[in-house]
Chain A
Amino acid sequence: MHPARGFIDAGFTMDAIILQILNGLDKGSAYALIALGLTLIFGTLGVVNFAHGALFMLGSFCAVTLQKILSLSFTVEDPSQKDFLGNPLKVDTPYIVSWFGDATGNAILNWSVPLAILFAIPVMLLVGYVMERGLIKHFYKRPHADQILVTFGLAIVIQEIVKYFYGANPIPTPAPDAFRGSVDFGVLIGFAQNEIIYPYWRLVYFLFSALIISAVFAFLRFTTFGMVVRAGMADRETVGLLGINIDKRFTIMFGIAAAVAGLAGVMYAPINSPNYHMGMDFLVLSFVVVVVGGMGSLPGAVLAGFLLGILESFASMNEVKSLIPGIDQIIIYLVAIIILLTRPRGLMGRKGVMEE
Chain B
Amino acid sequence: MTPFPESDLPIAITMLLLFGAILTIAAGLVRRSFAWPVVLLTLLVVLGDAIAMLLAIVRGGPLRHTLGGWAAPIGIEYVVDALGAFVVVVIAAVSVAVTVYARAAVRAENPDQEVAFLGMMLTLLLGLTGMVLTGDLFNLYVFYEISSLAGYALLAIGDRKAPVAAFRYLILGTTGASFYLLGIGFLYVLTGSLNMADVARLLPTLHNNPALPVAIALVVAGVGLKTALFPLHGWQPDAYTYASSTTTAIIAPIMTKVSAFVLLRLLFFVFGVDLVTRLLPTGSILAWLSAAGIVVTSGMAIAQRDVKRMLAYSSVAQVGYVGLGIGLANPWALTGAVLHILNHATMKCCLFLVAGSVALHARRRTVAEYAGLGRMMPWTFASFTLAAVAMVGLPPTNGFFSKWYLLLGTIRSGSWPLVAVVGASSLLTAVYFFRLLESIYTAPATAKPEAPAGDPEAAMLVPTIALGVAVLVLGLCNSWFVTQVLQPALPAAVRLPGS
Co-assembled chains A and B: no
